């Protein structure tokens, strides 16, 4: 469990290490024209996603508390989390080892190496890479970096919520964001607890939050669809479920077609290339899956830009 005090500590810790990303007023809810809507351009964060916030907070907290070993950090992710941990480790000055499946795209492997990480390819599924990373951290004493289910990681992601409050003067009603494993949702909901509601948007084909809410605990779900590369967690994290339950995060599901349309819309209207997972949050408004009340003040988080733009031009 994390709360606002954890996010406040994270904000102080990562200050100067992460970017304060801009907001943009937009008109993208055709079914709720009276609502006031902004985009939080977190896709401009270091390494192209919000994950840098949690990565820095986790590694800096370990350093400040004397828990950061000479062996550095070990993570399992061929995506945004791996990139973020590799980047943060390089800036803090410790080695990073990132485990990815043998099926990881060569371009992502190359980018991890460009950031200075040692890349180890294991198995054909993320779960195999994860198991190997856990064992490696245990064997070497390195700091293990889970992509979304660690308190410092979630609190670090929550600095985005604290930033939204500062940028809007607290004048915000709702934050829409995409949910995979739930680290971003957990952090932002903790930061906004009692001040604004959080709506967790996820593809119909990967309903980790929605299924957890109905079951009363995180459960495994099948993973497929256009957003699987960035929202491909098989279950919601325990921290995310605890925070969502405490703060009343509302799950909203969107279709594949709505995600694809929203991603294209963001490119056509604002020339922003976002991941399909990121576009899920926009899709909730574009499709009417989430309909704001008149004059509702809504912030939509564009959380990642690590996408292949070739199908947008």
Rg of the chain (C-alpha set): 18
Tokens of 17: 């290490």
Q: Hey, where are the domains in the chain? A: 4-50+152-311, 52-151
pLDDT of residue 8: 98
Q: Would you say 172 and 196 are in contact if contact means Cβ atoms under 8 Å apart?
A: yes
**pLDDT value, residue 227:** 92
Sheet holding 23-26, edge to edge: 23-26, 36-40, 297-301, 174-178, 197-203, 250-254
DSSP-assigned letter for residue 150: S
Torsion-angle region of 49 (φ positive above 0: left; ψ -120 to 50: alpha; else: beta): beta
Q: Taking the mean position of all CA atoms in its chain, how far away is CA 269? A: 24
Structure confidence by residue, pLDDT tens digits, 174-197: 999 999 999 999 999 999 999 999
Tell me the sheet residues that pair with 99: 76, 120
State residue 161's pLDDT score. 98
State the SS3 of 192-257: HCCCCEEEEEEECCCCHHHHHHHHCCCCCCCCCCCCCCCCCCCCCCHHHHHHHHHHCCEEEEECHH
69, 97 contact by CB (below 8 A):
no
User: ∠ at Cα 122 (118, 127), nearest 5°?
Assistant: 110
Q: What's the CATH class of domain 52-151?
A: alpha beta
pLDDT at 142: 97
Q: How far apart are CA 209 and CA 201, in angstroms?
A: 9
Going by C-alpha positions, the residue among 77, 281, 82, 266 that lies closest to residue 174 is: 281
- 94: which DSSP letter? -
The first and second tokens of residue 209, run together, are: 């939050």
Residue 107: the pLDDT is 79
Q: Do domains 4-50+152-311 and 52-151 have the same CATH topology?
A: yes
Distances (CA, A) of 103 to 119, 124, 250, 275: 13, 6, 34, 19
Positions of the chain with pLDDT lower than 50, given as ranges:
none
Place of tokens 């940028």: 167
Angstrom distance (rounded) from CA 234 to CA 132? 18
pLDDT in tens, 250-272: 999 999 999 999 999 999 999 99
Angle of helix 51-64 versus helix 159-168 axis, rounded to 10: 110
Question: What's the Cα-to-Cα distance from 164 to each of 58, 93, 188, 301, rounded to whole Å?
Answer: 21, 30, 9, 10
Is 74 in a helix, a strand, or coil? strand
CATH top-level class of 4-50+152-311: alpha beta
């Amino acid at each position: 469990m994390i709360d606002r005090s954890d996010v406040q500590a994270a904000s102080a810790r990562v200050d100067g290490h992460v970017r304060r990303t801009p907001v943009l007023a937009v008109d993208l809810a055709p079914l709720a024209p009276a609502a006031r809507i902004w985009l939080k351009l977190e896709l401009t964060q270091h390494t192209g996603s919000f994950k840098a916030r949690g990565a820095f907070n986790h590694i800096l907290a370990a350093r400040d508390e004397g828990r950061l070993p000479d062996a550095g950090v070990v993570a399992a992710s061929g995506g945004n989390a791996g990139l973020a941990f590799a980047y943060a480790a390089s800036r803090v000055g410790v080695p990073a080892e990132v485990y990815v499946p043998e099926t990881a795209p060569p371009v992502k492997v190359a980018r991890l190496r460009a950031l200075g990480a040692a890349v180890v390819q294991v198995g054909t599924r993320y779960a195999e890479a994860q198991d190997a990373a856990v064992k490696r951290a245990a064997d070497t004493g390195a700091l293990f970096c889970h992509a979304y289910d660690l308190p410092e990681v979630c609190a670090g992601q929550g600095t985005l919520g604290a930033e939204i409050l500062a940028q809007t003067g607290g004048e915000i009603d709702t934050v829409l964001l995409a949910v995979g494993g739930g680290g971003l949702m957990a952090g932002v909901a903790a930061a906004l607890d009692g001040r604004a509601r959080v709506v967790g948007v996820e593809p119909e084909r990967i309903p980790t939050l929605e299924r957890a809410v109905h079951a009363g605990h995180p459960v495994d779900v099948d993973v497929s669809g256009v957003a699987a590369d960035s929202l491909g967690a098989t279950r919601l994290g325990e921290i995310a479920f605890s925070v969502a339950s405490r703060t009343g995060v509302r799950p909203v599901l969107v279709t594949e077609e709505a995600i694809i349309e929203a991603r294209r819309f963001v490119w056509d209207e604002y020339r922003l290339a976002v991941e399909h997972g990121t576009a899920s949050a926009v899709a909730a408004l574009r499709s009417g899956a989430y309909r704001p009340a008149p004059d509702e003040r809504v912030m939509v988080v564009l959380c990642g830009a690590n996408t292949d733009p070739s199908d947008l031009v």
